[in-house]
Amino acid sequence: MPWSSRRSKQRAFFFFVLFVALCLLLYQRNVTRNTLAHLEAGLNRPQHAHHSQQQQQHQSGQQVQGLDHQEKPSPAVNKFSWSNYKEHYPVSSMVKLPAGDPGKLPKVQFDFPEPSKDFIAEQKARRAAVKEAFKRGWSNYRERAWMQDELRPLSGTAKNGFGGWAATLVDNLDTLWILGMKDEFKEAVEAASTIDFTVTQEQTINVFETTIRYLGGLLSAYDLSKELVLLEKASELGDMLYAAFDTPNRMPITRWKINDAIEGKKQTALDWSIMSEIGSFTMEFTHLTQLTGNPKYYDAISRIMQVYKDQQNETRVPGMWPMMVSPRRLDFRTHTIYTLSSMADSLYEYLPKTHALLGGTDPMYEELYRPAMETASKHILFRPMLPDEADVLISGKGSTSVGSELVLYPEGQHLACYAGGMFTLGSRLFGIEEHGETGRRLTEGCIWAYNATQSGMMPEIFRMVPCKDPKDCKWDEALYRKEIARKSGTSTSNARGVERSLDELLTASSMPIGFVAMEAPEYRLRPEAIESVFILYRATGRKDLLDAAWNMFSSIDRATRTPFGNAELRDVRYPPQEAQEHLADNMESFWLAETLKYFYLIFSDPNHISLDDWVFNTEAHPFKRPLSRQS
């Protein structure tokens, strides 16, 4: 090839390479510019769970100065919206709210007389102590974990696990209002309005927890304040949760991969779900329909409750439902464990409460409640054998198999303490006198369990000896010694074969007298006991319940207080002076949202959130009852 021709080709190749390099340089400059723009925009958006701890702390510093100083996020282009979600299995005909005006239901609250000045002063001081505990936890959450789900009370760091949508903030909107913290409420409302329910780092969302904490919190705060942005946010969240019902049989996916829904994938209900998780949407979805007029939410829960109604008498313990059900196969009857405790609790709790929320316009909830509680009273509740022979009740657990009778397991749970309040409400709303006595005995059983431990707190899960004759239950020390030795794996005799004294046996088993075992000895800052004490006090006016509540609060705060809030206690058997050495770095949002709210309300004027005007969801969020809205 001639040299001139080769040279021309080399020159052409050189210019081609130069051209490509120039194009790449221009492209890189453009990418860098766009990247910087995206990063700059990202810094102006509310921070979510996936950001680093350093960014969380930076954001918290901004929030301390007030939300007004933050830039508002720019609207995203083509951003996904739950209101535009395209259903795969749409409903052709909606079940609407019951027609007709709500009836006048019986009074729940006692007619309280005019209190004395000394009484008012005493309750004011108690209320102030509760508020101080709340403010300590809230201020530290605000400074150290703002817009995150929870604050760790020992380390003072943030924690997520409920979607990363600021669970403690939303869960406590109504608490701030009820405690009169209006400036903090205003700030929290503005922050809540920025939450993006289309973004989460969680692989799976617990639809039940999202409903009771987030949706319940937004609805309650709206009822109290009438801040329209809260109802708008509740509707936005309601649309998200409604997408979990987009299955062939319209049963919800209780542990839900929301990104699959966002990507348009078809969904199917789970083969097995916890009974309470699929059966405890009734209050929140009913109230969202009441407030928005959109029937789809009420329709969604009506379909679930109809399955419960159709199968109530087909279970192995007719009247009740097992704690595991199959939404996919619509099998709510064949599982073998029955209880009012965890995994079942709020389904039963919501029966009288939804009746109240609907103003009695749908008879189904009373029709479900009566046989369920008749069966539970007969098979699940038991009187424990106690050294002081106290006439109290504990809610246990039953197991059955095909062709066999129910076997009672005398296992008590702190979670089951809600049942005292449920029976008390049922006695008033449905006029069932014996349920008032059942509610009293259940509530006093939980008070007894608090008083029985060195710390003054009730364990999470425990065992007791059931009375052979509930009407005549004498203390039988020999039987108790035998049971505590069997459950704890100790001997009633020492190494020399000498019979141990009861005190020696209790020391060897580390057991407070009356208990035979503690499968879970911790106290997790739970609200169920004070919830029932509060309801029983509001229904009966018994002043001794105020002292019981104060003893409970004092014991809890003394043992669990930290510089940043209050922490779970690992074992209630430690005396108060040792409890601080056995705390766990957890403070779920319900400590502020439920436990302290009920403590505050029991020491308040009974007309403050009256039970004749309001009904609480299972996360202690009060919803306005319909007659009150009309008055």
Cβ burial, residue 276 (10 Å; 0-12/13-18/19+): buried
Mean of pLDDT values over 247-253: 98
pTM, to two decimals:
0.86
Task: Output 510 or 547, whichever has higher pLDDT.
Answer: 547
> Which three-class secondary structure string do you get for 574-609?
CCHHHHHHHEECCCCCHHHHHHHHHHHHHCCCCCCC
**331 an active-site residue?**
no
Choose among 460, 376, 466, 456: nearest CA to 422.
Answer: 376
**Does residue 224 contact residue 174 with C-beta atoms inside 8 Å?**
yes
Name the catalytic one among 460, 531, 612, 619: 460
Q: How many CB atoms lie within 10 A of CB 67?
A: 18
Q: Residue 284, Cα to own-chain centre: how many angstroms?
A: 13
Name the binding residues for Ca(2+).
Answer: 618
Whole-angstrom distance, CA of residue 142 vs CA of residue 57? 11
Instruction: Give the model's pLDDT for residue 441.
Output: 99
Give the pLDDT band (50/70/90) at residue 78: low
Name the catalytic one among 528, 568, 571, 612: 528
Alpha-carbon torsion (62, 139, 525, 355), positive or negative:
negative
Instruction: Give the model's pLDDT for residue 490.
Output: 65
Going from the N-terminus, what domains does the chain have, and what CATH number goes with each? Answer: 122-630 (1.50.10.10)
Q: What amino acid occupies position 277?
A: E
Q: Which residues contact 137 (CB under 8 A, 6 or more apart)?
A: 151, 153, 564, 565, 566, 587, 591, 592, 596
Alpha-carbon torsion (161, 165, 167, 171), positive or negative:
negative
Q: How many CB atoms lie within 10 A of CB 399?
A: 16
Whole-angstrom distance, CA of residue 48 vs CA of residue 228? 24
pLDDT tens digits along 425-480:
999 999 999 999 999 999 999 999 999 999 999 999 999 999 999 999 999 999 99
**Does residue 445 contact residue 466 with C-beta atoms inside 8 Å?**
no
Mean of pLDDT values over 304-311: 98
Give the pLDDT band (50/70/90) at residue 26: very low
Cβ burial, residue 540 (10 Å; 0-12/13-18/19+): middle
Strand partners, 325: 273
- The CA angle 165-62-43, to the nearest 5 degrees, is 70
Please say if the pLDDT value at position 580 is more than 70.
yes
Q: Which residues contact 222 (CB under 8 A, 6 or more apart)?
A: 228, 230, 231, 234, 291
Please say if the pLDDT value at position 29 is more than 50.
no
* CA distance readout (Å), 560 to 412, 490, 585, 600: 22, 31, 11, 18
Mean pLDDT lowest for which of 46-55, 230-239, 299-308, 430-439? 46-55
Please say if the pLDDT value at position 103 is more than 90.
no
The b-or-e profile of 139-172 (16+ CB within 10 A means b, else e) is ebbbbbbbbbbbbbbbebbbbbebbbbbbbbbbb
- The CA angle 171-177-180, to the nearest 5 degrees, is 135
Q: Which residues contact 177 (CB under 8 A, 6 or more apart)?
A: 185, 221, 224, 225
Please say if the pLDDT value at position 114 is more than 50.
yes
Please say if the pLDDT value at position 45 is more than 70.
no
The b-or-e profile of 216-231 (16+ CB within 10 A means b, else e) is bbbbbbbbbbebeebb
Name the binding residues.
Answer: 618
Strand partners, 150: 159
pLDDT-above-70 percentage for the chain: 84
Give the pLDDT band (50/70/90) at residue 576: confident
Give the pLDDT band (50/70/90) at residue 494: low
* CA distance readout (Å), 599 to 20, 219, 460: 73, 22, 19
**345 an active-site residue?**
yes
Mean of pLDDT values over 222-238: 98
Name the catalytic one among 209, 374, 391, 476: 209
Name the catalytic one among 227, 345, 411, 483: 345
**528 an active-site residue?**
yes
Mean pLDDT lowest for which of 10-24, 213-227, 500-514, 543-557? 10-24
Structure tokens at 629: 């809205």
Instruction: Give the model's pLDDT for residue 401.
Output: 80
Instruction: Give the model's pLDDT for residue 4.
Output: 41
